[in-house]
Structure 1
Amino acid sequence: MNKILIVDDEPNILLSLEFLFKKEGFQVFIARDGEEALSIIEESIPELVILDIMMPKVDGYEVCQHLKQNHKEVKVIFISAKSKQQDIQKGLAMGADLYLTKPFSTRELVQKVKNIMN
């Protein structure tokens, strides 16, 4: 079963994405900030991380950097309200496989996750 970690400090996004991906047959882990995400990653390495950027304690960029240094095989999708071209370029330059801006289509996200994981 494909393991996905969803990291966002907005409870509504976490709950809706968790529900959506469980319905699609994924094993879903959730974290409310980057610090929580890093400890989950060390316990159970996911195949894909859906990652917000602006979060308390440890931001999404730091989580992505940790993943790319220690677990290169893990795919990363940024979902962020930061929609400037320079933000998107920074996210992709850090090694993200995809960068979606909020608000995003959940149907599109599910399709892109399936594409990345196959």
Structure 2
Amino acid sequence: MVPERGAPVSRYLLDKFLFTIDRDPELVERYREDPAGTVTWWEAEMANRLLSCTAPEQSTWQAFTDAERAALVGHDHVTLFEMGAHPFLTLTLFIALFERDHGPMEYQTAYARAMQHLTLPYPDITT
């Protein structure tokens, strides 16, 4: 059964976004400067691209939910984690986005502080 377009599928799409943006310095800058435009572009152009194929192939059904899109646009790593996005993917991308605006380890400390209200069991981050 294929899920309805935009229906929650898995954390795969969130993690794929975080991973692919973090691996390209130009996309990191684009996401920092224009998060809404980057999320819209990525969802339209990259979300359904099958990255492991040798020839360009695409699926047609994956899309972010409104809540996922809002968390990505808002650079909201706490909500992304609560949705099940992998914390290492958010941390590495958000360091690339925001560490330059802070002193040594200042951003990482603020990142952790924003998540200190979370208790075990944490959201499942397996994919």
Is TM more than 0.5 here? Answer: no
Greater fraction of residues in helix: 2
Q: Greater RCO between the two (CA within 8 Å, min separation 6)?
A: 2
TMscore range, shorter length: 0.3 to 0.5
1 or 2, which has the higher strand percentage? 1
